[in-house]
Structure 1
Amino acid sequence: MSEPGTTERTPTIGDLFREPRARTYFLGVGVSLFGDNVLTLAAGVWAKTLTGNDGAGGLVSFFLLLPTLCSPVFGVLADRVRKRSLMIAVNAVMVLIVPTLLFVRTSRDIWLIYLVMLASGVAVVTLAAAQSGLFVMMLPERLLGTANSTYTSMQEGMKVLAPAAGAALFVWLGGGLIGLLDGLTFLVACAVLWAIKVPEPAPQPRRAKLRAELTEGFRHLAKVTELRVVVGAAAVIMLTAGFVTTALFGVVSTGLGRAPAFLGVVSSMQGIGSVVGGLLAPRLIAKVGEARTVGFAAVLTAAGTAVLAVPSVAVVLPGNALRGVGLAWMLIGAITLMQRRTPGALMGRAASALYMLLFGPSVLALLTGAGLTNLTGHRTLVVVAAVLAAGAGAVVLIRRSGPVRTSTEEES
């Protein structure tokens, strides 16, 4: 990729898909993401239907996110084996696990739904750590931002499509058959990864104690100045996103005076914004660089968050779409910068550390946000989240930009 401000043409999705391996890979990703999002939606509805308890449905997301807190373990694994082989193995295991949902019959079997979602969370974290390294090996550096943007756009696009599809399929097929369907999408992912040939060097032998390996990704992110600033800001943005997720219930019911089902409309606007943000991100990164992209992302997120306090549908819907653009820019900018500043042998641990630092705060915010909303009201929580996001953006944007240094130069 060219340095910020150069006149080199920004790579497009068309350029990315001219790479045969990228084209094949993203075909498999699209199928797999659709299956995963449909299953997650159906699992929540299923848990609620079996128990009649809203909390039971909410625990589906909790178990899906829980493995995030163990991300460094899976990062070490990704750096100790060949990444493509690991991704094939993970998808193959999930082919066997998700169809076990066929055995769920009554509320006493709900533990099996939670177990499958926990396994899905482990798969997500492991595949995320391995995928960053696979992109670096599979693609020229100039296409990394475009690849991350495409993945984010597909991921968010599926979140827009999956709720309606998941609800319809659950009514039509039931949860067990949706599990079987998702198993088939994991099988497609296995076949796609098997078809892709990537020149991958042999993993380096273990040279340090396990504790040192588990923390090496975090130490790398902290040691490289630009990464430290950007990842810190991104973590704050994700913390605010978790708070807003819980505050949205109050935004819809108290602020807008709408039925809870209207939350689906509000949430879909964030997904649409994220798709748009993903499509725009490569051009922005080429123009201003990854760090300032994250800074601008924080500003958009802060603005979109602040207007959620306004009791007007005409303001809240575009505001949440603006948040979606900001969150997409933040994820793409942070991930691309990490890929460009990290040696290949450390990629899995750095990616998993980044994943934990980004999504760990969301888990914390989800656990505490409901209580804070009850204590302070949704408007106060929304305003605090907006101020935090704005502060994170200010730190990145006012930071004096110097010559770009590689991680090797900073460590010497």
Structure 2
Amino acid sequence: MGVGGVLRDRNAAVYLGAVVVSSFGSGALTLAAGVWVMTLTGDSSLAALVVVLLWAPTVAGPFIGAVIDRIGRYRAVLVGTMAGTGVLVLSLGAVTSAGWLWLLYTVMLIDGIAYVAIFAAETALLPQVVAPALLGDVNGLRMSAAEGTKLAAPLVGAALFAAWGGAAVAVLDAASFGIAALLCLLMKPVEAAPVRRERVRVRDGLRYLVERVHLRRVVVSAAVALVLAGFAGTMTFALVDEGLGLAPTFVGVLVAVQGVGSVLSGIFSGAVLRRLSPLGFAAVGLTLFSVGILLRMTTVVPLVLIGTAIAGLGLPAPLVAATTTMQIDSPPELLARITGSVQLVMYAPNALAQALGVVVVGFVDFRISLGVVGVVGLAAAGWATWTVLVRREDRSRARVAGA
């Protein structure tokens, strides 16, 4: 198995290629859209609205997942959504003044809806085209691919915007969606499920998540990790300015260092998941992330860099564990709905945590906030570790009783 096994698998390799291409285009446009708004209006709050619109559709995750399950043909949904979004993005070429901002905001909102739909469709499709033994590796490498593009895509987006304007970045993003759609068409054989004619209920995904204790625990761990990451992320500028006394551009260095850690984490996620339970893997990730955040409190540049790399190494683990558990243990006909529900649980609180962090950073020393994040993260890791150990003891007792 491992990376070599994934790359030898035609469907897995094609899928990862699609992730790299689409993530690169989306990463370039996300940055450029904010810069675009700032250039036209000079209002930073209006620029920040771009990110809000991109994340807002996660609240509708269960409903979007229900629609996808109702259709039942995940590859068709995936390809159609990518191609349609790519065509829509081309309309941004009309945004030439502040009077056209409504179009940019509309496209960003629809782009956010498309992201939720694409994630749900591809999560449901992967178990049909990739062997179960490879799912952990593929999910880890998907995380590595997405994080890896963040190292270069924003720079490319900024350069294109500076040279030829936002329309050039829109063309890049549209092309990336088109290429990704074509790559997804190459994933064969696809065991396409027939269109389900019976009633599809939105609450089925949420109910399954609530009833399945093992899945719920891993998803909660991932949600906690994202909440803490979102809150801690709002402290980054204060850390660089007040703590390190460096120029704001050093934030880019920290983002790159964290990205490298996340890429490495994704590469080895599959191998670790074969040796640890999903919740145990999540506990390891939470521990690393928390230690890394606590190191950022020191305001010593080398320790901050080390801590940032460690945090980046740990953060993807709960997310990969949650996605892999969901794909392996969920009924295929419910998978898109469950994915939408998991997105709601994992990502909606993250947006609220970021909003809270923006408020808190103006009143509380960033070191205190980072300390709280680190302590809460270690407590969550301790809970996950204790749960794994208790369950292992319970299984041992059951085997003794059975003997």
Question: What band does the TM-score fall into relative to the shorter chain?
Answer: over 0.9
Residue in 2 aligned with 1:125?
116
Q: Of the candidates 37, 50, 66, which is equivalent to residue 47 of structure 1? A: 37
Q: Which residue in 1 is equivalent to 2:205? A: 217
Indicate if the aligned counterparts of 2:258 and 2:311 stay in contact, CA closer than 8 A. Answer: yes
Q: Deviations over 1:157-183 (max 9, x none)?
A: 001111221211111221112101211
Deviation at residue 255 of structure 1 after TM alignment? 0.9
Specify the alignment match of 1:357 in structure 2: 345
Distance 1:361 1:293 in 2: 22
Q: Deviations over 1:359-408 (max 9, x none)?
A: 1111101222111111212112111111221111111101112489xxxx
Cα distance in structure 2, aligned partners of 1:370 and 1:307:
21
Report deviation, 1:124: 0.7
Match of 1:314 in 2: 302
| Residue among 199, 222, 240 paired with 1:207 | 199
Alignment partner, residue 27 of structure 2? 37
* Residue 13 (structure 1) aligns with: 3
TM-score, with length taken from structure 1: 0.91
In structure 1, the residue matched to 2:236 is 248
State how far apart, in whole Å, the 2-side matches of 1:114 and 1:267 are: 26
Query: What is aligned with 1:156?
Result: 147
TM-superposition CA deviations, 1:299-328 (whole Å, max 9, x none): 111111112211111111121111111111
> SS where residue 295 of structure 2 aligns?
helix
**2:364 is the alignment partner of 1:376:** yes
Partner Cα separation in structure 2 for residue 47 and residue 200 of structure 1: 42
Equivalent position of 2:12 in the other structure: 22
Residue 177 of structure 2 is matched in structure 1 by 186
Q: Note the C-alpha offset of 1:29.
A: 2.2
- The TM-score with structure 2 as length reference comes to 0.93
Q: How far apart, in 2, do the equivalents of 1:219 and 1:348 lie?
A: 13
Q: Structure 2: which 5+ residue stretches go unaligned?
A: 396-403
Following superposition, the deviation at residue 130 of structure 1 comes to 0.8
* CA deviations over 1:104-152 (Å, ceiling 9, x no partner): 1122222222222111111110011111111100011000001101110
Question: Which among 150, 157, 160 is matched to residue 169 of structure 1?
Answer: 160
Count of residue correspondences: 390
Pick the aligned partner of 1:296 from 270, 275, 284. Answer: 284
Identical pairs, percent: 33
Q: Distance in 2 between matches of 1:183 and 1:120?
A: 11
Which of 77, 80, 91 is equivalent to 2:70? 80
Read off the aligned partner of 1:206 and give its amino acid letter.
E
Q: Which moved more, 1:291-300 or 1:372-381?
A: 372-381
User: CA offset at residue 289 of structure 1?
Assistant: 2.1
| Rounded Cα–Cα distance in structure 1 between residues aligned with 2:19 and 2:224 | 28
Partner of 2:385: 397
2:107 to 116, 135, 142: 116
Matches within 5 A, 1:142-153: 142-153=133-144
Q: Tell me, which stretches of 5 or more residues in structure 1 are unaligned?
A: 1-10, 405-412
Alignment partner, residue 136 of structure 1? 127
